[in-house]
Amino acid sequence: MTIFDTDRSGTIGFTEFAGLWKYIKDWQNVFRHFDRDRSGSIDGRELQEALRQFGYNLSPQLLTLVEKKYDFKGSGPKTGVAGPPGITFDRFVRACVVIKQLTEAFQKLDTDRDGWVQINYDQFMNTVLSLP
Ligand SMILES: [Ca+2]
Ligand SMILES: [Ca+2]
């Protein structure tokens, strides 16, 4: 919840709660917007369209990886719960937030903006572990 705790007080106050509520409402609108077939979940094509509009040009392989990682079926057979195929609302939000944070982490390292970074083990671990 650290992203909503804007004053870093460790708790979520009323204004932060209002911000969180608006944030969720916004995400619900985003989710509904990209759920073109109104299935209640985001499939591969819908995901591609959403990420493209957010400005993330992921390769087809990466899109498949994201889809697999956040697809309900990807949660493993041990849950035994049947859900709609595709990415549900909370997973969609998580996927978008993670892609945003990873992209920003990369861009911070790619200071000359050529799409390449050279980092050592320390920097790699530091980058990955600083992500929430
Ligand atoms: Ca859908
Ligand atoms: Ca670079």
- Choose among 50, 30, 41, 51: nearest CA to 103: 51
Which bound ligand lies closest to the C-alpha atom of 115?
2
Ligand 2 centre distance from Cα of residue 75 (Å) = 35
Is the alpha carbon torsion for 128, 95, 66, 48 positive or negative? negative
Q: Is residue 103 very low, low, confident or very high in pLDDT (cuts 50, 70, 90)? A: very high
Which bound ligand lies closest to the C-alpha atom of 108?
2
Which bound ligand lies closest to the C-alpha atom of 31?
1
44 burial type by CB count under 10 A (0-12 exposed, 13-18 middle, 19+ buried):
middle
**C-alpha–C-alpha distance, residues 117 and 36, integer Å:** 36
Least confident segment among 53-57, 76-80, 98-102: 76-80
The answer to whether residue 74 scores a pLDDT higher than 70 is no
Which bound ligand lies closest to the C-alpha atom of 111?
2
Ligand 1 centre distance from Cα of residue 59 (Å) = 21
Looking at domain 14-129, which of 3.40.50.1010, 3.40.50.720, 1.10.238.10, 3.30.56.10 is its CATH number? 1.10.238.10
Domain boundaries along the sequence of the chain: 14-129
Helices (H), the chain: 14-34, 44-53, 60-70, 89-109, 121-129
**C-alpha–C-alpha distance, residues 59 and 82, integer Å:** 29
The answer to whether residue 2 scores a pLDDT higher than 80 is no
Ligand 1 centre distance from Cα of residue 87 (Å) = 8
Residue type for position 92? F
